[in-house]
Amino acid sequence: MNNCIQCDRAISDGARYCQHCGTRQPDQPAVAPLGIGKPPPARPTTDPSLKKGLLAIALVVVLIIVVNAMSRTPMTASPSSVTAGSTEKAADAAMNAAASSDAVSSPWSYSKKHDDVRNGDIVTASSRSTNSIDLDFPYAGGTWLTVTVRKHPAWGTNVYFSINQGQLICHSYDDGCYATVRFDDGPPKRFYLNEPSDNSSDTVFVRGAQGFINKLTKAKKLVVELEFYQSGRPQFTLDVSNLHWPPKASDL
């Protein structure tokens, strides 16, 4: 029911005039049937078919990335090849370590110097005593002995003993100059000596050098007894193991 706009009495729904006072009533909006006039339901923002297409494209991209990554990965060597390579490397390392150990532990010091006058090389191998002796005044500090094997373009192959300080007594003209030596655990042997041509008192040459060298290359230890001026006949012990004579190219 509605009320008249003029007299405010009740009038029937849809009446255009008031039946009481005759006043025209304003037009009433038509009532839309149920479900008519409502906004349509919102559509999904993404079409399901579009979603499926995008997913397929994403899968293809991922597959391409995986294939490229696998093609760039280096092939893994077979277990047998890895084992063989590792064994060879380990063997090489062991040989190098052994060679380095020999070089470090060798008591011999090798040298080569060119003689320009004779156009030849002077080659030497030297080993110093492991012990030293103390001499009286005017010498201070220890005195040690060095054995040297030398090949000279003018004088051939020699062996000589030398000291860093002191005086060796050697009168080779009367065969009174000799050294008593012992190779390893063998018996003591006497080797006669020659004094140097410059008559210096710190060096003496072994007679029969080649025979001495033959024994030296087979020995590990050498004990030498020499006569010193006013100091008797002291003894020196030398490590002579692993003598290479002639020297190897790697020694020089």
> Cα separation of 141 and 62, whole Å?
82
Q: Mapping DSSP to helix (H, G, I), strand (E, B) and coil, where does residue 172 land?
A: helix
**Structure token pair of residue 26:** 């304003």
Maximum CA pair distance of the chain? 179
Question: What average pLDDT does the chain have?
Answer: 82
Torsion, Cα of 205, 210, 216, 217 (10° steps): 140
Give yes or no for a cis peptide into 247 (omega within 30° of 0).
no
pLDDT reported for residue 32: 46
Residue ranges of the chain with per-residue pLDDT less than 70:
1, 28-51, 71-104, 172-174
Summarize pLDDT for 175-205 with one digit per residue, the tens: 779 999 999 999 999 999 999 999 999 999 9
Are 226 and 167 contacting, i.e. CB atoms less than 8 angstroms apart?
A: no
DSSP H or E segment with residue 2: strand 2-3
pLDDT at 79: 45
Number of other residues whose CB lies within 10 A of the CB of residue 26: 8
pLDDT (0 to 100) of residue 168: 97
Contact, 226 vs 92, CB < 8 A?
no
Residue 218 pLDDT: 97
Rounded Cα distance between 14 and 35, Å, is 22
CATH of domain 106-239: 2.60.40
- Residue whose tokens read 């001499």: 135
